[in-house]
Amino acid sequence: MTQSDFLTPSGGAAELGPRRTPDPVEAWGLVQVDGAVILTGAGATAEAAMAAARTVFAGRALAIPEAAEVRAGGVMDQVVNRPSPEEALGVHTDGFGYGDFYPDYFILLCARDSAVGGESFLVDGYQLLDRLGSTGRPGLGEQLETVPFDQTEEGMHRSVSPLVGRTAGGRRMVRRFPFQRPRSESADPDADTALLGEWDRMCREAGASALRFRLQAGEAAIIDNYRMLHGREPYKDVERLMWRVWVWTDAAKGVPAGSLASDTRYARVPSEISGDDWPMITADSGSCLPEEAPGWERAGELVRRDGAALITGIDTLDDAVVAARAMLGDRAVQVKPQFEATTAGYLANQVKVAGSGPDRRGRVRRFTPPGEIMIPHNDGYGFGDLAPDYLFLWCEKPDPSGGASWVVDGVRLLEALTEETSSAPLATFCWSEPIDHSEPGFIVNQPAPVARLLPGGRRQVRHNPYLTPVASDHEAADAPMVAAWCEVVTTARDRAHRFALQAGQLLCIDNYRMMHGRDPYTDDDRRVVSIWGWSTDAVDVPDRELHLV
C-alpha cells in the first residue's frame, strides 16, 4: 500500500492512515493503540468477515452476530435519513439503535469497492476530548460526560444518557448520530441544545479534516466503536459492497438481550411505544427495598407480600440453610447451597464456558465478572422449569465500597405496563406468546411466555440475558417485543433502590416473581453464597444435582 492510497479531503496525498497487517493478533494490538486497523488478505465474503471477527476477538467476544450487507447503509437499518450513494455519510457511531448497549467494536470488510469515491475516514473521539484540556475548555469535557441527552432512535432502544458515557470498568463511550437531542425533562433545554451543537460542530470539523483512505477488496477495517467515529465520501458504483460485523466484547457496557444482528432488525421496539412516550419505569414501579424481618416467620410473610425480605443475625452458612428451610416450612422440598458469588467463583466459571462459542443467534454463554453490573435475572434460568422457586443469598463478607444489591418485581412491572395504553400490548405479549428462555450451549427448555399463571395460583415472570423469539414464522414480529421487555427490565434495574448486604444477612427472594442482581465490586474477599430452594409450589423439582457448568 503506497502513500497515495491515503487522501486528504482535497485529494492530496497524506502521510498517515490506519496501519495495515495480515496478522489478526497484531491487528488486535494495533486497534488497542490506534483505535482502528486494516486487516489485509481477509477475503471478500460474509463468511470471511465472520471468520475475521472470530479470529481477532477470540476469547474476548460475548456476541458476534452474522455479517450484514452494507450498500447505501445496512439493508436492515433505519431507512429514514439514510444517505444515498451520491451523498457523504458524516462521522457517526454504529449500532446506536441498541441504545447504551451498542456494539463496542465492528468490522467492515470490502467485497467490492467503487472505482470513484467511497473513501472512508475516521475521527478519534478520545483525541477530541483530550484536546479540550489543552485548549482551555476542560469544563466542556465534564459537561459531555454528565449532561444526559435523549439518544433514542425512533422506535428503538431507549437511551437517556450523556454524549460521552463510561462502562463499569471506566472505558469511555463516545457517540454521535443524527437523533441526539435534549431530553424532554431537561431543566435547561437551551443550554443543552448549545452543548449538543458544540459537540456536533467539533465532530463535523474533525470529520472534514480527517484523512481519507480506501479499503481494497479483501481488506477489513477493524474499528473501536466506543472510540472512533467513522464516515465515507459519496461514490458512483451502486454495486459497491461491504460486509459489516458488529461485535460485543467483555469490555462492552453490556450486550442487548435477545436476538442480535449486525444491523438493527432486532433493535426495534413495538410501534405503539415511540421514543417519546416509552413507559418511564420509576424506582417505585418495579423496585423492592426488602424489609428487615426479626426471624424466618415474619420473613415468610414479607416474601409473600413484597417478594423479598431480609433476615439478620445469621452467623454461618449452615444457619442460613436452616433459616431458609424454616421460612418455607412444610412446603420445603429441597434447600441447599448452590454456589459462591465470589470473584474466584465467577472467573473460574467464566473460563469453563468461554470455549463453548456463539450459538446460531450469535449468543455466547457467560457469567458476569465482578467489574460489571449484572443483567436482571431469576436464578437457575438455564434449567427452565427445574429452576428453584425461592432464592436465598447469605452474606458472610461484603465489599465495603461496591456490590450493592437490587431486586426488581416482575409482577409489578407488568401491572405498570398494563396500566399504560402505549405499553399494554407489550404486557399482553408477555402473558401470551411463548419465547425461548434457554441459555445458549446449555440444556434445551420448552418455550413459554415471559409471564404465566401457575396451577397453584402463583405468577411467574422471567428475564435472563438470552431471551429470544422462538424460531418460527412469527420470529420477526416477536423479536421487537422481546427486546422491549428486556429494555423495560433493564430500565427498572437502573432506577431501582440499592441496598448493601451486610455480614450475617440473608436475602430471601421469591425467584418466580423477582429479578435480582448486584452492582460491580472489587474486593476479592467478598463472599456471598447462593442457596436454592424448591417448595411444593415449584413447577418441577430436580431429582439430581444441578450444575451451572
As a 3-state breakdown, the chain gives helix, strand, coil percent values, each rounded to 5, of 30, 25, 45
Q: Residue 386: what are its φ and ψ, rounded to 5°?
A: -85, 0
The number of CA neighbours under 13 Å toward the Cβ of 479 is: 17
Give strand pairing partners of 518. 405
Cα angle: 135, vertex 140, 143; to 5 degrees: 160
Give start and end residues of each alpha helix (H) in 180-333. Answer: 189-209, 283-286, 296-306, 317-328
pLDDT tens by residue, 70-119: 875 444 454 444 556 667 788 999 999 998 999 999 999 999 999 998 89
Q: What is the pLDDT along the chain (549 residues), one digit of tens a residue?
A: 333 333 444 333 333 579 999 999 999 999 999 999 999 999 999 999 999 999 999 989 988 999 999 875 444 454 444 556 667 788 999 999 998 999 999 999 999 999 998 899 999 999 999 988 777 677 899 999 999 999 988 878 888 899 999 998 899 999 999 889 999 888 899 999 999 999 999 999 999 999 999 999 999 999 999 999 999 999 888 889 999 999 999 999 988 866 788 988 777 765 554 444 445 455 567 888 899 998 999 999 999 999 999 999 999 999 999 999 999 999 999 999 986 544 455 445 544 554 556 776 677 777 788 888 899 999 999 889 999 999 999 999 999 888 999 999 999 999 989 988 878 899 999 999 999 998 887 777 789 999 999 988 999 999 999 999 998 888 888 998 998 899 889 888 887 888 999 999 999 999 999 999 998 898 989 999 999 999 999 999 998 877 665
The domain spans of the chain are: 15-249, 285-535
Cβ neighbours of residue 511 under 8 Å, at least 6 residues apart? Answer: 378, 379, 380, 387, 388, 389, 390, 391, 532
pLDDT tens by residue, 461-503: 999 999 999 988 888 889 989 988 998 898 888 878 889 999 9
Specify the pTM: 0.62
Alpha carbon distance 56, 78 (integer Å)? 28
- The torsion defined by the Cα of 336, 342, 345 and 348, in degrees rounded to 10, comes to 160
Per-position b or e across 524-538, b if 16+ CB within 10 A of its CB: eebbbbbbbbbbebb
Alpha carbon distance 318, 332 (integer Å)? 16
Q: Would you tell me how many other CB atoms lie within 10 Å of the CB of residue 370?
A: 21
285-535 folds as Double-stranded beta-helix (3.60.130)
> What are 141's three cell numbers?
469535557
> What are 298's three cell numbers?
415474619
Same CATH topology for 15-249 and 285-535: the answer is yes
CATH 3.60.130.10 fits 15-249, yes or no: yes
In order of 209, 388, 477, the CA distances from 541 in angstroms are 65, 8, 34
